[in-house]
Structure 1
């Protein structure tokens, strides 16, 4: 899942981003409304966490502009304006998909983002299976041949992408884009190291095939 956090309070923005990354999300940051608009033009985000009080271009204006696009991400308004009238305005007039007032509980933020992701035009199935491997997206649980298997957030996200690909290869760049974020060095060995650990947890080196020039796929 790719998330853009638009928040001009840099300390809060970094705290939100770090927490979402620990929840297996790829997170980019923006600190102004014009930056959000530009980033959404070049990157297909699943969810936008949007503060209403952004400089240069307000979050309200960003929301209005994005709502007119077919490829708009789901928008979660995040703001200190928590009165009922503010929420109604954000949802009905601006077209936000959800509204969360500050201060908020971080677990609720994560749950709301995941819910918005599941409400995408083509929502992912909640349980994915392949050759004895089962991934329960809602429960964040994985089992191999009925045996519970502990995965790190990155391993979980990589496995989900491989399962959703249904045996087709997933390119290295697509894994970087969806599981990590824009700051990851494209020459890094992080993807290869994560896949290697994932192979071991799934049962051995033959569980995931590396197709040269194509990417990684689950072995039939």
Structure 2
């Protein structure tokens, strides 16, 4: 599941991003309200965690603009502003939770999981491409009715490919989304994982779904492109 963290303080942001990653969440972290608002509106997240006092755009305005854009993504304020009127204001703007700094990470994690249970969103989906099915909530994959056993990273990789069906995904994007790391040209982790996933998904079937596009990246689609390689 994907979380957008909008926190301008470096140490706090790094601490939260690492903790959420260890808890199994893919977390994008930005340090200003304008960038955070753009990501929150244009991309798909399961939860937004944001501060109130942010450079370029404060959390109040960000949330107001998010709701006006029709985005119902759950939002948690994480801020040092502890006055009752601040909490009321945040909730009235459409926040789903409000946690005051300093905080215990265990409480933050419990609140995050509670919000995600209340707003299952994308995680309740079943996706399908051709005869390939992905049950996101139950973390199961099937092709032609046959169960495919996947590791956690393989599942995350397949989910990314299926959500972006027909779109060529560069290795840099895959590395950041699935492994939460910057792409290193000397690292073949993406290639190795993709090869293993392709073996599990495509072996034994006449139609290949996962394709390598030379010099560009990978794509999942039911029809092979002439520029694709095996």
- Secondary structure class of the residue paired with 2:90: helix
Q: Which entry has the higher C-alpha Rg, 1 or 2?
A: 2
Within 2, Cα distance between the matches of 1:165 and 1:45?
Answer: 12
Within 1, Cα distance between the matches of 2:200 and 2:111?
Answer: 30
Within 2, Cα distance between the matches of 1:79 and 1:108?
Answer: 14
TM-score, with structure 2 as normaliser: 0.63
Tell whether the 8 Å contact from 1:199 to 1:208 is kept in structure 2 after alignment: yes
Q: CA RMSD in A?
A: 4.1
The correspondence for 1:170, drawn from 161, 168, 171, is 168
Within 2, Cα distance between the matches of 1:203 and 1:111?
Answer: 37
TM-score, with structure 1 as normaliser: 0.65
* Aligned position for 1:13: 13
**Structure 1 position 27, deviation (Å):** 1.7
The correspondence for 1:109, drawn from 102, 112, 133, is 112
> Counterparts in 2 of 1:36-185, with a 5 A limit?
36-41=33-38, 44-47=42-45, 48-54=48-54, 58-64=58-64, 66-69=66-69, 75-79=75-79, 86-92=86-92, 94-96=93-95, 98-101=96-99, 102-103=103-104, 104-110=107-113, 112-113=115-116, 118=121, 126-130=125-129, 133-143=132-142, 145-147=145-147, 149-152=149-152, 154-166=153-165, 168-172=166-170, 175=174, 178-179=177-178, 184-185=182-183
What are the ranges of 5 or more consecutive residues in structure 1 without an aligned counterpart? none
**Structure 1 position 78, deviation (Å):** 2.5
What are the ranges of 5 or more consecutive residues in structure 2 without an aligned counterpart? 224-230
Kindly indicate whether structure 1 or structure 2 has the higher relative contact order, using CA contacts under 8 Å at least 6 residues apart.
1
**1:5–1:192 Cα change, 3 Å:** same
* Aligned position for 2:228: none
Is residue 216 of structure 1 aligned with residue 219 of structure 2?
Answer: yes
